[in-house]
């Protein structure tokens, strides 16, 4: 018989508390719980206790629960060995967005991850995913990602805002041209970001916008 909401909530609370008290055995046993909420909390607690392994995290990349997959992507920012590339094309947009973000936060990026981010920046149907992928390409700073960032400078307004900021690690005529074009963008936040990029000593932080 399926557990009711109160039972699941109580179990989650137990797992969260164990994540602070240090009872890793209780937490680890919950990795196979029927509720995705509980499994997700178990992963977070193990991570908090610094006892979560890359193998354990990898086992949940294909979890049936989008809540778990999104948490896996977020935690995987600290686990270079966990392959989250499959999550870039997840049916849940927030899972895919988180996977794109995580790849930009890692210490090392493989060629496969870089090319997957490039593809997501250019071809993902969901705007949130293209935006996150573009931002990660800028965070990584690999010149092979520059063409995708330049193309993102002509995408939707929120993506253009991110793309302008993602040009920070790069130099060259194409970069200068993109920034100059952004100064006359119809979106004021794109214009402000370009201004801040070209005149960093003017004061004030770059505007990303919603």
The whole-angstrom separation of Cα 133 and Cα 111 is: 15
Angle between helices 157-166 and 173-182 (to 10 degrees): 140
Radius of gyration of the chain (CA): 20
Read off the CATH number of the domain in which 121 is found.
1.25.10.10
Q: How far apart are the first and last CA of the chain?
A: 43
Residue 189 lies in a domain: yes
- What are the tokens at 41? 């909390």
Q: Is the pLDDT of residue 2 over 70?
A: no
CA angle 100/105/107 to nearest 5° reads 125
Interval 22-32 mean pLDDT: 95
Q: Is the pLDDT of residue 19 over 70?
A: yes
Residue 147 lies in a domain: yes
The number of residues making up the chain comes to 210
CB 60 within 8 A of CB 88: no
The separation between CA 58 and the C-alpha centre of its own chain, rounded to angstroms, equals: 16
Q: Is the pLDDT of residue 201 over 90?
A: no
| Mean pLDDT of the chain, nearest integer | 93
CB 101 within 8 A of CB 134: no
Number of domains in the chain: 1
Residue whose structure tokens are 């919950």: 30
Q: Model confidence over 167-182: pLDDT tens digits?
A: 999 999 999 999 999 9
Q: Is the pLDDT of residue 3 over 80?
A: no
Q: What residues make up the domain containing 120? A: 82-202
Q: Is the pLDDT of residue 204 over 80?
A: no
Cα-based distances in Å from 198 to 59, 105, 176, 190: 45, 25, 9, 12
Q: Model confidence over 111-148: pLDDT tens digits?
A: 999 999 999 999 999 999 999 999 999 999 999 999 99
Residue 158 lies in a domain: yes
CB 50 within 8 A of CB 78: no
């Amino acid at each position: 018989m399926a557990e009711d909401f109160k039972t699941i909530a109580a179990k989650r609370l137990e797992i969260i508390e164990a994540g602070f008290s240090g009872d890793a055995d209780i937490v680890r046993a919950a990795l196979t719980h029927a509720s995705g909420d509980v499994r997700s909390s178990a992963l977070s607690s193990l991570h908090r206790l610094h006892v979560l392994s890359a193998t354990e995290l990898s086992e949940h990349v294909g979890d049936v629960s989008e809540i778990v997959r999104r948490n896996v992507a977020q935690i995987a920012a600290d686990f270079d060995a966990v392959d989250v590339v499959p999550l870039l094309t997840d049916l849940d947009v927030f899972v895919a967005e988180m996977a794109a973000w995580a790849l930009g936060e890692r210490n090392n990026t493989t060629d496969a991850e870089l090319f997957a981010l490039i593809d997501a920046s250019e071809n993902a149907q969901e705007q949130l995913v293209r935006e996150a992928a573009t931002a990660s390409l800028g965070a990584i700073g690999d010149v092979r990602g520059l063409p995708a960032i330049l193309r993102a400078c002509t995408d939707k307004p929120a993506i253009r805002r991110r793309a302008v900021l993602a040009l920070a690690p790069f130099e060259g005529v194409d970069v200068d041209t993109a920034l100059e074009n952004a100064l006359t963008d119809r979106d004021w936040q794109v214009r402000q970001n370009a201004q801040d990029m070209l005149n960093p000593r003017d004061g004030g932080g770059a505007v990303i916008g919603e």
